[in-house]
């Protein structure tokens, strides 16, 4: 093969085009459609802390919804619920039963610490309410199956709140994967890294926090009894009694995106984690770095979360025909790979010149080079961006409200949510027991 042919091929590769497309927001955010009063969804918020406040606003922004009550265990959050909703007379309570007993409430938003999810969702279903439950769905593997049973048994809509499932960016990514544009995908990697106290859940404690303003016994719920400790109440993510550390907080988002775009319908086969508690050592029993390799039947997935370095969140999906990257949840880029035929250019340099030339001549005959000025089309690098003010949570919440109205199954029901939650539990199982976690579908348990 002559030098000029090689350089032309290189040129063809370098000349591949690029395009950038702004994704269109959904109908909802572009032009809310009117909902007749008979279809109005009356909902209540249970848990009006950091996330509860966001999803309360998202639900209020959906067409045809009405917030009628709020419940929380801390006075400050009940005061904030009135402010946040713009309803100074909103009915508020510290007793969730008062909400579930009301016949005029169709749905509840559950945004409480993870150890309370199962109990509240099961009770809500039994009380005839539909439930939007924040991620991760469960605190233990057993709870996840009980929640799915409650959803099915009481024929309720249960939607898990990991909003990537409704994102227009992930929908585009799924389109690429389903079209076969990436070829065979065998490896995926992603990480979320943070480097500050807030990212590490060391939140300030409000100055009025006390057993008078907080219902501490109810907060503990099924967790071990302890004396009042505001750190545990406000920084619950740091303790295994109430949360699942980084997997429950952040892996679950990454797993939701991957399960959705890769059409995964079961927990991973195996998981192997490493990590450690290196820096935020003052008061927590979960690691500040965790790294997990997951095995799925047709691909492998590497996830990492660190609280000791800040970097962009990048999801990379590697296929035989191209790479898909998704940066900070907002920009999706497909880069095709040049898979056009090319002669062997490495091992033949261990051959005598005579045989090498023979091989190259033969290859050339079988693969005539394009005429000068006519180039092979290698494919375009395509980028898709979400509009700057795009909020996937509003889309996700609107999907929930539409399911409540129409009884159409939720886009992220308790079965989907259970699979991502189990993957989080497998990561922790592997980390804490220092063994590979194996999912056993027959016993529905993780074993080492």
Please give the residue ranges that form the binding site for ligand NAD (CB under 6 A).
46-47, 49-52, 71-74, 77, 96, 111-114, 116, 134-135, 161-163, 218-219, 236, 249
Which CB sits closer to ligand NAD, 135 or 304?
135
CB of 86 to ligand NAD, least distance (A): 19
User: Which residues are registered as beta bridge partners of 438?
Assistant: 270, 447
CB of 394 to ligand NAD, least distance (A): 12
Please list the alpha-helical segments (H only) found in 167-251.
Answer: 168-179, 216-220, 230-234, 245-246
Q: Which two structure tokens, joined as six digits, stand for 216?
A: 């501490």
CB of 343 to ligand NAD, least distance (A): 51
Query: Distance between CA atoms of 151 and 145, rounded to whole angstroms?
Result: 10
* Contact between 108 and 84 (Cβ < 8 Å): no
Q: Which two structure tokens, joined as six digits, stand for 81?
A: 């619920």
CB of 12 to ligand NAD, least distance (A): 44
Show Cβ contacts of residue 104 under 8 Å, excluding neighbours closer than 6 positions.
42, 68
CB of 175 to ligand NAD, least distance (A): 24
* Contact between 369 and 5 (Cβ < 8 Å): yes
Half-sphere exposure of 131 (CA within 13 A, CB side): 36
Which CB sits closer to ligand NAD, 249 or 313?
249
Which CB sits closer to ligand NAD, 72 or 313?
72
In order, the DSSP letters of 262-302 are TT--S--SEEEEEEE--S--SS-SS-SEEEEEEE-SS-EEE
Q: Which two structure tokens, joined as six digits, stand for 264?
A: 């995964």
CB of 416 to ligand NAD, least distance (A): 14
Q: Which two structure tokens, joined as six digits, stand for 65?
A: 């919804």
Task: Tell me phi and psi for residue 270, to 5 degrees.
Answer: -145, 160
CB of 273 to ligand NAD, least distance (A): 19
Which CB sits closer to ligand NAD, 71 or 246?
71
CB of 432 to ligand NAD, least distance (A): 19
Which CB sits closer to ligand NAD, 9 or 232?
232
Which CB sits closer to ligand NAD, 235 or 382?
235
The angle subtended at Cα 206 by Cα 200 and Cα 210, nearest 5°, is 115
Q: Which two structure tokens, joined as six digits, stand for 395?
A: 């889309």
Distance of CA 217 to the CA centre of its chain: 31
* Contact between 257 and 276 (Cβ < 8 Å): no
In order, the DSSP letters of 345-405 are -SGGGGS-HHHHHHHHHHHHHHSPPPPTT-------EEEEE--TT--HHHHHHHHHHHHHH
Query: Distance between CA atoms of 142 and 176, rounded to whole angstroms?
Result: 35
Which CB sits closer to ligand NAD, 137 or 151?
137
Query: Coil, strand or helix: which one is 250?
Result: helix
CB of 96 to ligand NAD, least distance (A): 5
Which CB sits closer to ligand NAD, 46 or 69?
46
CB of 436 to ligand NAD, least distance (A): 26
Which CB sits closer to ligand NAD, 166 or 306?
166
CB of 128 to ligand NAD, least distance (A): 19
> What letter does residue 295 receive in the DSSP assignment?
E
- The residue sitting closest to ligand NAD, measured at its beta carbon, is 49
Which CB sits closer to ligand NAD, 238 or 271?
238
Distance of CA 441 to the CA centre of its chain: 23
63 CB-contact burial (10 Å; exposed 0-12 / middle 13-18 / buried 19+):
middle
């Amino acid at each position: 093969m002559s030098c000029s042919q090689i350089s032309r091929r290189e040129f063809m590769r370098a000349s591949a085009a690029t395009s950038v497309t702004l994704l269109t927001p959904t109908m909802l955010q572009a032009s809310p459609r009117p909902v007749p009063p008979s279809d109005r969804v009356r909902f209540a918020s249970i848990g009006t802390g950091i996330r509860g406040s966001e999803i309360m606003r998202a639900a209020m922004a959906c067409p045809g919804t009405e917030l009628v009550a709020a419940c929380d265990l801390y006075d400050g959050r009940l005061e904030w619920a009135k402010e946040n909703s713009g309803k100074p007379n909103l009915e508020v309570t510290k007793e969730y039963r008062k909400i579930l007993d009301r016949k005029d409430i169709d749905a509840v938003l559950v945004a409480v610490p993870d150890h309370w999810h199962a109990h509240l969702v099961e009770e809500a279903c039994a009380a005839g309410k539909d439930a939007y439950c924040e991620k991760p769905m469960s605190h233990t593997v057993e709870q996840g199956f009980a929640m799915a049973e409650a959803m099915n048994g009481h024929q309720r809509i249960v939607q898990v709140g990991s909003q990537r499932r409704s994102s227009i960016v992930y929908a585009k990514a799924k389109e690429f994967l389903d079209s076969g544009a990436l070829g065979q995908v065998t490896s995926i990697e992603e990480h979320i890294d943070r480097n500050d106290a807030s990212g590490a859940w060391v939140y300030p404690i409000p100055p009025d926090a006390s057993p008078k303003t907080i219902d501490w016994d109810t907060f503990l719920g099924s967790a071990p009894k302890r004396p009042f400790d505001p750190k545990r109440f406000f920084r619950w993510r740091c303790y295994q009694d109430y949360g699942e550390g980084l997997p429950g907080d952040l892996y679950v988002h990454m797993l939701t995106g991957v399960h959705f775009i890769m059409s995964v319908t079961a927990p991973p086969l195996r998981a192997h984690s490493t990590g450690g508690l290196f820096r935020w050592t003052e008061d927590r029993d979960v690691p500040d770095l965790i790294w997990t390799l997951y095995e799925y039947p047709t691909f492998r997935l590497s996830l990492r979360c660190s609280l000791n370095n800040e970097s962009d969140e990048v999801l990379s999906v590697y296929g035989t025909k191209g790479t898909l990257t998704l940066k900070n949840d907002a920009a999706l880029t497909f880069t095709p790979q040049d898979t056009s035929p090319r002669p062997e250019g490495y091992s033949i340099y261990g051959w005598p010149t005579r045989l090498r030339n023979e091989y190259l001549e033969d290859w050339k005959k079988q693969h005539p080079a394009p005429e000068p000025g006519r180039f092979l089309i290698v494919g375009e690098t395509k980028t898709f961006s979400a509009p700057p003010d795009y909020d996937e949570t509003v889309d996700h919440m609107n999907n929930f409200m539409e399911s409540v109205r129409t009884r159409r199954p939720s886009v992220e029901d308790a079965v989907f949510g259970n699979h991502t939650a189990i993957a989080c539990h497998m990561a922790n199982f592997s980390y804490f027991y220092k063994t590979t976690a194996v999912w056993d579908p027959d016993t529905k348990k993780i074993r080492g």
